[in-house]
Every structure is written in structure tokens, then in C-alpha cells.
Amino acid sequence: MLFSSITFLVVFLPVVLLLYYYCPVIKGKNFILLFCSLVFYAWGEPKYILIMILSILFNYRMGLFIADEPPGGIRKKIVLGIAVAGNLLVLFYFKYLGFAASLVNPLFSGLGLPPITIKNIIMPIGISFYTFQSISYIIDAYKDRNLVQRNVLDLGLFITFFPQLMAGPIVRYHDINEQIYKRTHSASLFAGGVERFIAGLAKKVLLANSFAEVADGIFELAPLSVPTYYSWIAIISYSLQIYYDFSGYSDMAIGLGKMFGFNFLENFNYPYISKSIREFWRRWHISLSRWFMDYVYIPLGGNRKGRGRTVINLYIVFFITGLWHGASVSFILWGLGHGTISFIERILGGRISAVIKDGIIKRALAHIYTLACVVLLWVFFRLELRESVEFISNLFRYNNTQDHPELSLLVDARFYMLLAAGIAFSAPWWRKIGSLIQGGPLAEPVRIIKYGVSLGLFVLSICSLASNAYNPFIYFRF
């Protein structure tokens, strides 16, 4: 079930809200959310609900084992290793087993050994997200035994809570554990959640889906057969699609959380205004970046053990980042590409600042450079390796082939209007306007207009969903 579906908006969400607010006690509310989250997950993949339940039980038991062991003991570390390995093994089986077989089979063939045959394994939706949340719980419980959850239902709620179950943000246990027992509910918080949800829904339905239609229509063609102009249209559309899709789902998750009294951390902060790749990763998928920082980069030593070790740690993190997004060489190259550019920025950043004084020209050049790197690397995120190389080569040569006249129908006047809107709203210029208006005589009229705009966006989104079946779910691969 998708947030951007009529079933969720008209049936599931209203029913859950009614049940939730009808129940007077927090334990009952938590049970309702847990039960509804399992229904939400089982709606599209009922056969995988057992894996979800086994994951809850496994991590619950491992948490208790960790709590029973004395601090610093070797047995406690062994239990931690078993718990983390258990979560990763399930993820490996469903997401990476086929990819691993494809890598070792050529070696086996050269040695005269029979290849490893892997049946078609269907990956459970959102397994990367809830696996990382489970590992977060285990590690946090290891660091602080007071965080060990002794109520299996409450731990189940943390792992399965439907707003962030399939598309994030990745919630770390120590950020939310207290909210499981004690949280506030108010009309203003609920209204803010509704407003945030509608903004995310509009991003997904009105912008991301429209850009996806254009990007998919062009990417489905052979890369070298597409005119260069349309290749640029495709990758720009995809860059906007993936931003509005990811950030839209995060907005909807944060908004839903507020409706139920939870406060999730921000996950996107206008990444396309970044002036370096390092800044980009402080703004893009923030919950994933923080997860890797807390549970991978810092435990490896971070930047505390010299430049050489820092570089190795950096590449490990970006390698895992790419692999987390997808089991293919192109995803790994996408991650390592970001890691390489981040490494270069660490070395040259200070030297460039010493040569070029800070100013509007420097900021503009930095912005252009960052956008160019991000957009070009998105090609590897979207296509397999060979197609990626062909597509990028087509971006930098004059190709005016007329083999696909239908492209002019795909890229029409409506697309260009949406493109202008997508580019405009990828920057937070409206925040400055809001800060100037806040507290002034126009504050109340603007607030009323804002609610009217939200209502209009919701109606437009519903109409779009009702009339257009094109509603891709980009998180299937995650």
C-alpha cells in the first residue's frame, strides 16, 4: 500500500486515526499502531509478514541477551555480533545473494566448477530500512542497557511503524524510544502534520510522477539513439524525480508521525542548493548519512586515526552506501564516485579557498560544480554500467538523430511548466519571504492562504491519482 494511493488516503489512514484517537491509553494506542502497521505491510506482501514478525522476535530476544550480560564482557560482544550478523544475513539473502552469485560464477567457470544457481528471489519491500532500524536498536541497547526494550510489542512498533516502514526516514532507536511511552497530542501538532503530509503528497504525485513519466520514457530507449538534448532532459527530470519522490515520502512520513504524536528528524534539507558534495550529503537523505556516521564511520575510527585511515573509512562508508541502495556494480560506482569527490574536496578545499576569495562568483561556481557532479552520478543510479557509459557519452556529443519523434509529444509545454516549478521549489527562497511576513499585518491572511493552498494541492493530488494510473514506487529496489 502506498501513501500516494486512494486506498491509503480514503480508507486506511482515516480508519487508523479513528481507532487511535478513540483509544484513551498509550499502551492501547501503541497496540493499534502496531497492528495497523502489520496490516499496512501485509496489504501488498502478505507472505513476507512472517519475516517481519521473526525479525521483531529475534531482535527482542537479542536485546534481552545483551541486557543480561555484564558491561564490557566478551560474551556481550559475541551476542552483539550474532545479532547484527543475523539481521545482515536476512538482508543479504533477499537483496544480495543473486548479485554475489553473478560475481563468483565467472571465477567458478574459469576453475571448471559448476555455477551457483539462484532461484528468482523477490525482495521484501523496505527490508533495507527496517533492517537498519533493527541494527540501530541492537547497537543502542549494547551501548546503554537502559535502552533495552522489555516489551516485545513496543519494540515491534519501533520496527514496523508504517509511516517510515518502507521509505524512511531511518529512525535511530535512541532518538525515538522515549516517544514510544510518552508523547503529546494537540490540535496544532496534528494540523502541522496534515499540512506536512499534503506537501509531501503533492511533491510525489504532482511533481515526481510527472518527471518520472518523462524520464522513464526517454531512459527506456537505447542511449545512443536519443538526441543529446533529450538525454539532458531525461537526466534532469530524473534528478528532480528522485528528489521530489524521496523528500515527498519523507515529508509524508514526518507528517504522519506528527498526527500520531511522534517527532521524526528531518531527512532532506534542499540538497540541490549545496556548494560541495560533502554539503550535499549533509542535506540529502540525512537519516541515512547519520546512520552511517553513528554506526559505521565513527566505530571504524572516523577521522581520528590519521589521513590514510580517514580515507579508507570514507571509502568504506560510500561503498556501503552505494551497495545499500542496490545490488549492482553501477550502484557501487555511484557511491564510490561520491566518495572520491568528497576525498578530493578534503584535499583541495582549503587550497581553492586560499586562491579564490569567497564571493558570489565562488559560490555560483561551487553550486554549478556540485550540481554537475550530482546529476552525472545519478546516471549510474538509474542505469546499469554499460548503459550508463553510453548515456554519459551521449550527453557530451552532438547527436541530433530524429529516430524518436514521439519525444516531442512527451516533452511538451506542460512539462516545461512543471520543470520550472520543480527547479524553483528545490530552493528554500519562500522561507525568507515567510520570515519577513511572520508577526506582521499580513501574517493572518497569509496563514489563511496557506491553508487554502494546502487544500488545493490535496484536491489536485487526489484528482491526479484518480485519473492517472502512473504512480511508480521507486523503493521496490530498496
**CA 281: distance to chain centroid?**
12
Q: Which residues contact 403 (CB under 8 A, 6 or more apart)?
A: 225
d(CA 430, CA 115): 57
User: Which positions are annotated as active-site residues?
Assistant: 325
Residue in the structure block whose three cell numbers are 545490488: 327
